[in-house]
Amino acid sequence: MDAIGVIIFVVALLVSVMLHETGHFVVAKRFGMKVTRYFVGFGPTLWSTWRGETEYGIKVLPFGGFVKIVGMHSLDDPDDPDDEARAFRSHPAWQRILVLLAGSAMHFLLALILVFGLALTVGIAYGNTQVGTLSSCVPVSLNAYDNGSCTGSHVPSPAKVAGLRLGDVVTAVDGHPVTNFNQLTDEIRPLPAGTPVTITVRRDSKLVNLHTKVAHIPGRSGSYLGVAYSGYVFQIPSPLGAIEYSGTTFGQVLAGSAQAAAQLPGELHNLFNKNRSKTGVVGVVGAAEITGDEVASNQGWQYKVTDVLLIIASLNVFVGAFNLLPLLPLDGGHIAVIVYERIRAWLARLRGRPDPGLVDMAKLLPVSFSLFLILIVFSVVLILADIINPVNITGG
């Protein structure tokens, strides 16, 4: 099962690469640019075929892919001078930027489709409403709440006052039905502290109404009941709910990716630490291992499918966002160059001077090569860490 999970991840990664390059390819063709090559992988060619003016093929090393668009920059002259009109650099800036954005857009689109499909088929995993943990007190601070501590508190929790028991299934709050823990907290949190509430629970196949008053924890927004769920329940939302879930998940992953990128320098020393956590910096090999572990776990099929699809979706969001960083040789770096060209041309017009034209990429080659080398070294270090010091699937 571990091997199946790894294979699923590798196939998903190759599909993502192909979609990235397809994004560049389709948009470039749409604007009339000449695309001469569309390849998956690097190194010697295993197979290729020509369709019209484009060669399609597969390379030996399946670690990426590329699309060759004529005239990508000032150093790339067409083999045929007649192709200059169809060269990338000959097209308006907005068209060139759209071609460059198309690769990351495909990653984002794939992630959204995966999460949307997950919601409408497997369902969204919510905490259930069966009481799995009961707090005996109202924590005196946010820190005490985070640590589950009752130290210094002499105020019984609303759940304890109500007489809730482990195993009770909450079915309603003040007569409003709840079917998952999110709905339960949505009913409790907006209430002012001290508001009386009626909690309806299913206990021993009977419905029981329990009464209490919600409390407030200093430093924490919203009111507090003092219960936590015992497990998860999968519920299929409406199409609009699935769209909302997709957008929310996308935003959370994007924010998490930005946070992870900001923490990269500080996390490097943890790559070879004992009990390395899967919540830290993980490379492609580590992500494949995590996927394999999830598939081989003893969880139900819904949990496995959810975890695997969210891993793949998260990978695509991260790669799409990372690729837009304004660094050469990433697409974002090329976009930054085009933006700079247009700003420089605008300033030249203001001064009554001619358009300076394309940026001399020869001057940027040392910067581009240096950043490319850093990315390669970092990727190799991550792969070595994933192999020598695999992530702890139970960590974090």
Active site residues: 21
Is the CB of residue 171 less than 8 Å from the CB of residue 202? yes
Residues composing the chain? 396
Nearest alpha-carbon partner for 3 in 289, 284, 312: 289
Nearest alpha-carbon partner for 16 in 98, 100, 113, 129: 113
Residue type, 165: R
Give the integer Cα–Cα distance in Å for 237 and 119. Answer: 7
Q: What is the dihedral of CA 146, 148, 153, 154, to 10 degrees?
A: 140
- Chain centre distance of CA 281: 14
Which residue do the tokens 């369709």 mark?
Answer: 51
Retrieve residue 354's tokens: 């001619």
Residue type, 272: F
R_g over Cα of the chain: 27
State in Å, rounded, how far the first CA of the chain is from the last one: 23
Q: For 263, which DSSP code?
A: T
Query: Exposed, middle or buried by CB within 10 Å (0-12, 13-18, 19+), for 169?
Result: middle
Specify the DSSP element, H or E, that contains 279: none
Retrieve residue 376's tokens: 């390669």
